[in-house]
A = this chain, B = another copy of it.
Amino acid sequence: MTKVGIIGGTGYAGGELARILSVHPDVEIAAMTSRQNAGKKVQESHSYLKGYVDLEFISNISEAPDLDLVFVATPHGVAMKEVPALLERGIKAIDLSGDYRLHDVATYQKWYGHEHTDVENLQKAVYGLPEFFRGEIKGADLVANPGCYATSIILACGPILKSGLAGDDVIVDAKSGTSGAGMVPTERTHHSTCGESVIPYSIGKHRHTPEIEMAVDRFAGSHSKVTFVPNLVPIVRGIISSCYFGLEKDVSQEEIDSIYEKQYGNETFVHYVPDPSIRAVVASNHAQVSSRVLGSKAVAFGVVDNLVKGASGQAVQCMNLMLGLDEKAGLDFPGLGV
């Protein structure tokens, strides 16, 4: 059985990886690291894994022998220090942070505010959105897993931008549940602050912006300009991104529908639907996409569970591809619905 490791096992993405991988038919979780919980049993911090993960956190992934693939689920800036050693040991890596998503070093430094220390691997990293870059992922040693907002937005925007029917000037108003902000308590995610509010933040400054532009450009073969305003909404899991376009000419709803159906009709995890629903995808790797013509404009919605298709589920989907497994392995079950 394939042995995988998780760097950053205490956080939400790391816990979610363990939740999914613990019942994956083809891999075994061989190691989970945690700086703060090293030496403790995983189920002490994650009681939901009782009966599923019987490991102690280790402090450094180098302590674990014989790994085939490692997920790096740490804050930005950490992966670039871990990945070179992994690749040297011949271990494939999937980074869930933003460290390897932007191929252009200057763009990275502009948006993340510090230098990139692993430029060599940055160039080689493959952007891990299987529905658009499946072939590249299959052969990759290093995959940069997309951000949660970026996943929902690219899935919604890609087809229509590629079609040329819409202008490349996109306005994105995205709404995310609080788990997207991670496990560290902050003023904004304090329940009394956000529990009965909708809070726009990082307006025009969110780091997913260049990632979205880059991915859409590569996919659509054009240069798009994204105005991105994320909002924190008082739900735990889920993102809905509303993407607004100008239409280049008169377009019917049927034309739009057929573009999306063609793109996603054969996909297991992405569904084009009339009424997008966060609850339909929560707790699953599924995404829902929807689009409506509104006169000379169109809106497209992209919906994912930010911790699954927006993070750990998508990383497992990439892992499956990288290891030559069934792409759906360990992920083939529906969302909650209610």
Q: B-contacting residues of A (Cβ < 8 Å)?
A: 12, 15-16, 19, 22-23, 46-52, 171, 173, 175, 177-179, 181, 183, 185-187, 189-200, 203-204, 225, 227, 229, 231, 233-238, 240, 242, 244, 268, 271, 273, 275-284, 286, 288, 292, 294-295, 297, 299, 301, 307, 332-338
Contacts and interface: CB of A to CB of B under 8 A. Distances in A.
B51 A196 contact: no
Given A173-B173, A196-B279, A336-B283, A273 B47 contact: yes
Given A227-B244, A235-B197, A51 B271 contact: yes
Contacts of A48: 277, 279-281, 284, 286, 334-337
A275 to B, nearest CB: 7
Nearest to A277: B47
A203 B235 contact: no
Contacts of A284: 48
Contact of A198 (B47, B51, B268, B278): B278
A256 to B, nearest CB: 13
Contact of A51 (B22, B187, B268): B268
Query: What copy number does this chain have within its complex?
Result: 4
Nearest to A182: B192
Contact of A192 (B12, B204, B244): B12
B240 A295 contact: no
B190 A337 contact: no
A49 B333 CA distance: 9
A294 B225 CA distance: 11
A212 to B, nearest CB: 14
Contact of A292 (B203, B238, B268, B286): B203
**Residue of A22, A204, A279, A284 ringed by the most chain B CB atoms within 10 A:** A279
Given A204-B292, A227-B244, 19 more contacts: A47-B277, A48-B277, A48-B335, A50-B273, A175-B233, A177-B192, A177-B196, A183-B192, A185-B190, A191-B194, A193-B279, A195-B235, A196-B196, A196-B238, A196-B278, A197-B277, A198-B240, A203-B299, A229-B294
B195 A190 contact: no
Contacts of A203: 292, 294, 299
> What are the 8 closest A-B residue pairs judged by CB atoms, nearest first?
A185-B185, A48-B337, A178-B191, A48-B280, A173-B173, A204-B294, A185-B190, A48-B335
